[in-house]
Amino acid sequence: MGDYKLTLKINQHITRLIFIFCLVLTVTYAKAQKERPKNLPRFDHNLFHFGFILGINNADFTLHRKPPNQVFDSLMILDVTKQPGFNLGIVSELHITKNIKMRFVPSLSFAQRDINYQFQGKKYVAFVKQVESTYLEFPVLFKLKSDRVNNFSGYVIAGGKYSLDLASNEKADNAGNNLSDIVVKIKRNDYHFEAGWGMEFYLEYFKFGLELKMSYGIKNILVPDTPPTIFSSPIEVLRSKMFLLSFTFEG
């Protein structure tokens, strides 16, 4: 239990440090800009441009627990530990106006979340259920961009995403399994709302971007077990949630 709390605190501190570092970097770079020759001066005049994206993610669940009853009133702890993963994809961007863009980024994302259970009986019994996902993601996002300052610009971004979990276990049969072999089943299809901000640097041969974004699942992706198990029964709602730090390379 001590190791779990330590891991949770470390994940929270890392997320805060990344956010603060990127914010300080953005402000410092913007203030340091002086008039200088522009790289890629006609980049934003093209109707379309393309690139690729690499990133790291921190996957999580929003978990709502049912009120305790006689079936699982011995469950003392039920929570989620975030785990790191990574994503890669293709960037395609449509220039609608000077400051408004539409972005489509089909991606492949690898994620894991751990659901922690601790039951009280004659002694404490703990279980950790790993939920691994391999997502095909299809986000459509709208980007509101600042005017370019020499070789720098900033933006905010928001939109929706459909994801298909290639590693979904929704058809798994838990009947008759040992407790250690039972899995928490999640649905194959999901929909998300995404929002974030980023900054772009116009280099000599391509545009480099740094983006921070949150993704919130809309639907309840928990698949109830029949017959019920002690791992799915206490959960009322399970929604996906993910923090993403991405690096874009566009030409």
pLDDT tens digits along 157-175? 999 999 999 999 998 888 8
pLDDT at position 33: 47
Locate 123 and state its tokens: 């002694």
Give the gyration radius of the chain's Cα atoms: 22
Report if residue 134 sits inside a domain: yes
Report if residue 81 sits inside a domain: yes
Judged by phi (left if over 0) then psi (alpha if -120 to 50, else beta), residue 85 lies in: beta
Report if residue 34 sits inside a domain: no
145 is in which domain, residue-wise?
A: 42-250
pLDDT at position 35: 57
pLDDT at position 122: 63
Q: Higher model confidence: residue 11 or residue 87?
A: 87
Confidence of residue 23 (pLDDT cuts 50, 70, 90): low
What's the pLDDT tens digit per position in 192-224?
999 999 999 999 999 999 999 999 999 999 999
Out of 5-9, 183-187, 234-238, pick the least confident.
5-9
Report CA torsion sign: 161, 167, 171, 177. negative
Report if residue 107 sits inside a domain: yes
Query: Which residues, at least 6 apart from 12, have a Cβ–Cβ distance to it below 8 Å?
Result: none
Report if residue 120 sits inside a domain: yes
Q: How many domains is the chain built from?
A: 1
CATH code for position 223:
2.40.160.20
Q: Higher model confidence: residue 50 or residue 8?
A: 50
Query: Which residues, at least 6 apart from 115, have a Cβ–Cβ distance to it below 8 Å?
Result: 61, 63, 78, 79, 80, 128, 129, 131, 184, 231
Q: Higher model confidence: residue 87 or residue 36?
A: 87
Report if residue 94 sits inside a domain: yes
Report if residue 12 sits inside a domain: no
Q: Would the pLDDT of 181 be above 60?
A: yes
Provide the mean pLDDT of the chain: 87
Q: Higher model confidence: residue 36 or residue 83?
A: 83
Tell how strand 100-104 and strand 124-145 pair up.
antiparallel
Judged by phi (left if over 0) then psi (alpha if -120 to 50, else beta), residue 162 lies in: beta
Over residues 73-84, mean pLDDT: 90
> Do 15 and 243 meet the contact criterion of CB atoms below 8 Å apart?
yes
What's the pLDDT tens digit per position in 107-154?
999 999 999 999 887 667 899 999 999 999 999 999 999 999 989 999
pTM of structure:
0.81
